[in-house]
């Protein structure tokens, strides 16, 4: 594959991503799955419906990660999640769960047959165009605040490493109204100009989702402003035998891709695998960089490690609040770069089992972020602060100001570091 756009220069830095298990902390337990991990009613990898979440004070909205994760939890079936639940009794290389960083399906799923339109306006027959080739398929959208770009950034960084396979990467938009061919192409080019973007009518996209056996995407009833789309969270890997044996939920790291992609071809394809020396970069690496740009205090409250991704429409802010006093809450938030600031997601225990949560964000409701005594983490997959209606593009390397007013402690101005998506992927992998 041609050198990865915006990634090749980062390859050496990517080798320093922190070690650890895939970041399943971004996912939450979805409703009970109607079957095992390979034979659910969806007929494919993760066929359950996304979880929807209510918007406080308004119509239904989609809690991004809660919606994505129903699919992940379903594919895990009887408790097999990523490599954390492994079957040491596997008898073949393909059946050895311990060797894979994705979810190994009990029954492989066939390469789907659907046709959509690529960003140049040409019909793209997925089965015909990718038949017999290592192919990675993902359904998402370009306004996604974290899951989609982090997935793409991690994958792109992995593929930029020497000796890696050359898969076909196909990104199908679940938001065709906003994801015009031009925007889709521009967004994908941030990660790799070889990534293929597909669009179509809502009916055509729904048919493609059904063919791939993933949950159908869900768009809020009110799409007049910024909104999130519920969609399947996994990347599906089709090998040269034209079957999907694995899928990869949100949280899979660069080094996980580096380990698994060459091995897929050894087990299910005839392409030459990379040598040990070529995939040496798949090691765990060093610790990631420290959080954020500064610490600010007001009363008994300290706010630190605030960061957001570069964007020109909407972005999510993540930070840590340490409250040394009584329970408090943020009752007002503003930024000079945003026309509207809201909270989205839900209060998530990032170390516990994961459950669906309610979205807080509502353009008509007052800002309200509970801050109990102790430490409150706003992290990808949980509660976050959304900067909406940006009045200018946010550029990597700059620092913006987020003004937070606590009901008890008072008001503080928080410096927010703007990161590019490769840095975001590193930050998440090292969390």
> What would the pLDDT profile of 341-358 be if each residue is shown by its tens digit?
988 875 433 222 333 333
DSSP classification of residue 359 = B
Percentage of residues of the chain with pLDDT beyond 70: 66
Q: For the whole prediction, is pTM greater than 0.75?
A: no
Please give the helix or strand (H or E) that residue 116 lies within, else none.
Answer: strand 115-118
- Measure the CA–CA gap between 159 and 141, rounded to whole angstroms: 21
Nearest Cα to Cα of residue 379 among 313, 431, 314: 431
Give the integer Cα–Cα distance in Å for 350 and 420.
Answer: 24
**Span 3-55, pLDDT tens digits:** 444 444 343 334 333 333 343 333 333 333 333 333 333 333 333 334 333 32
Strand-by-strand arrangement of the 135-140 sheet: 103-110, 243-248, 235-238, 135-140, 168-173, 196-199, 115-118, 123-125
Using pLDDT thresholds of 50, 70 and 90, give the confidence band for residue 137: very high
Q: 321: which 2 tokens?
A: 């609040």
Return the pLDDT at 423: 87
Query: Does residue 114 contact residue 217 with C-beta atoms inside 8 Å?
Result: no
Least confident of 33-47, 175-189, 247-261: 33-47
Looking at residue 101, its pLDDT comes to 92
Region 129-144: mean pLDDT is 94
Give the helix ranges, DSSP H, for 20-146. Answer: 64-76, 126-130
Round to whole Å and give the CA distance between 380 and 53.
17
CB 221 within 8 A of CB 252: no
User: Regarding the domain with residue range 8-282, which homologous superfamily does it belong to in the CATH classification?
Assistant: Glutaredoxin (3.40.30.10)
- Sign of the four-CA dihedral 360, 363, 365, 366: positive
pLDDT in tens, 155-169: 999 999 998 999 999
Which residues sit opposite 334 in a β-bridge?
403
Tell me if 143 sits within 8 A of 231, measured CB to CB. no
Nearest to 190 by CA among 237, 151, 136: 151
Of 68-72, 88-92, 229-233, 403-407, which range is least confident? Answer: 68-72
Distance of CA 154 to the CA centre of its chain: 10
Model pLDDT, residue 12 = 37
Q: Residue 6: what pLDDT?
A: 42
Interatomic CA distance for residues 354 and 69, integer angstroms: 9
- Lowest model confidence (mean pLDDT) among 12-26, 124-138, 186-200: 12-26
pLDDT in tens, 269-284: 854 434 433 333 333 3
C-alpha–C-alpha distance, residues 393 and 407, integer Å: 31
> Which residue spans of the chain are classified as CATH 2.60.40.1890?
295-429
Q: With the C-alpha atoms ordered 109, 208, 235, 277, is the resulting torsion angle positive or negative?
A: positive
DSSP string, 366-411: PP-EEE-SEEEEE-TTS-EEEEEEESS---TT-EEEEEEEETTTEE
Mean pLDDT confidence for 136-155: 93
Q: What is the Cα–Cα distance from 289 to 268, expressed in whole angstroms?
A: 37
Contacts with 409 (C-beta within 8 Å, 6 or more apart), sequence order: 298, 299, 300, 301, 323, 325, 328
Kind plus residue range of the DSSP H or E element containing 123: strand 123-125
Per-residue confidence (pLDDT) for residue 312, from 0 to 100: 85
- What does the block give as tokens for 97? 């769960």
Between 316-330, 359-373, 378-392, 413-427, the lowest mean confidence (pLDDT) is in: 359-373
The pLDDT value recorded for residue 219 is: 83
CATH topology of domain 295-429: Immunoglobulin-like (2.60.40)
Contacts of 401-405 with C-beta under 8 Å, sequence gap 24+, read 401/335, 401/336, 402/306, 402/317, 402/333, 402/334, 402/335, 402/341, 403/332, 403/333, 403/334, 403/335, 404/303, 404/330, 404/332, 404/333, 405/330, 405/331, 405/332, 405/333
319 Cβ contact partners less than 8 Å away, ≥ 6 residues apart: 292, 303, 304, 305, 306, 307, 378, 385, 414, 416
What stretch(es) of the chain map to CATH 3.40.30.10? 8-282
How high is the pLDDT of residue 322? Answer: 94
pLDDT over threshold 50, residue 2: no
End-to-end CA distance of the chain: 30
Q: Which band of pLDDT confidence, cut at 50, 70 and 90, is reported for residue 94?
A: low
Token pair in block for residue 276? 């040990």
Write down the pLDDT at residue 80.
38
**pLDDT at 262 > cutoff 70:** yes
What value does the mean pLDDT of the chain take?
74
Contact between 114 and 214 (Cβ < 8 Å) = no
Q: Distance between CA 71 and CA 193 in Å, rounded?
A: 28
Beta bridge partners of 298: 301
């Amino acid at each position: 594959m041609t050198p990865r756009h915006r990634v090749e220069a980062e390859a050496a830095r990517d080798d320093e991503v922190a070690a650890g298990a895939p970041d399943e902390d971004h996912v939450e337990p979805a409703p009970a799955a109607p079957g095992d991990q390979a034979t659910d009613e969806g007929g494919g990898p993760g066929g359950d419906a996304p979880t929807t979440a209510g918007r406080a004070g308004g119509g239904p909205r989609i809690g991004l990660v809660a919606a994505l994760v129903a699919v992940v939890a379903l594919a895990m079936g009887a408790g097999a999640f990523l490599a954390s639940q492994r079957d040491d009794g596997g008898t073949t290389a393909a059946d050895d769960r311990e060797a894979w960083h994705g979810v190994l399906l009990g029954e492989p799923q066939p390469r789907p047959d659907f046709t959509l339109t690529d960003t140049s306006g040409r019909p793209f027959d997925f089965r015909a165009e990718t038949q017999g080739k290592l192919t990675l398929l993902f359904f998402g959208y370009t306004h996604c605040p974290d899951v989609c770009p982090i997935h793409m950034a991690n994958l792109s960084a992995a593929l930029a490493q020497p000796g890696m396979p050359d898969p076909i990467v196909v990104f199908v938009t679940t938001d065709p109204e906003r994801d015009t061919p031009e925007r889709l192409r521009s967004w994908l080019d941030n990660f790799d100009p070889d990534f293929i973007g597909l669009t179509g009518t809502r009916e055509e996209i729904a048919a493609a989702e059904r063919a791939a056996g993933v949950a159908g995407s869900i768009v809020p009833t009110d799409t007049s402003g910024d909104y999130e789309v519920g969609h399947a969270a996994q990347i599906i890997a089709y090998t040269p035998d034209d079957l999907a044996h694995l899928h990869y939920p949100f949280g899979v790291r660069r080094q996980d891709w580096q380990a698994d992609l060459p091995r897929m071809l050894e087990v299910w394809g005839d392409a030459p695998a990379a040598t040990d020396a070529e995939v040496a970069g798949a090691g765990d690496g060093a610790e990631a960089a420290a959080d954020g740009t500064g610490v600010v205090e007001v009363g008994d409250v300290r706010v630190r490690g605030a960061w957001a991704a570069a964007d020109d429409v909407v972005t999510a802010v993540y930070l840590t609040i340490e409250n040394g006093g009584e329970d408090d809450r943020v009752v007002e938030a503003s930024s000079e770069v945003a026309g509207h600031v809201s909270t989205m997601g839900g209060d998530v225990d990032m170390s516990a089992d994961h459950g669906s949560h309610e979205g807080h964000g509502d353009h008509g409701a007052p800002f309200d972020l509970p801050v109990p005594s102790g430490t409150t983490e706003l992290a990808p997959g949980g509660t976050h602060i959304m900067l909406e209606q940006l009045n200018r593009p946010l550029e990597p390397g700059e620092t913006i100001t987020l003004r937070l007013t606590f009901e008890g402690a008072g008001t503080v101005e928080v410096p927010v570091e703007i990161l590019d998506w490769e840095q975001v992927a590193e930050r998440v992998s090292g969390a």
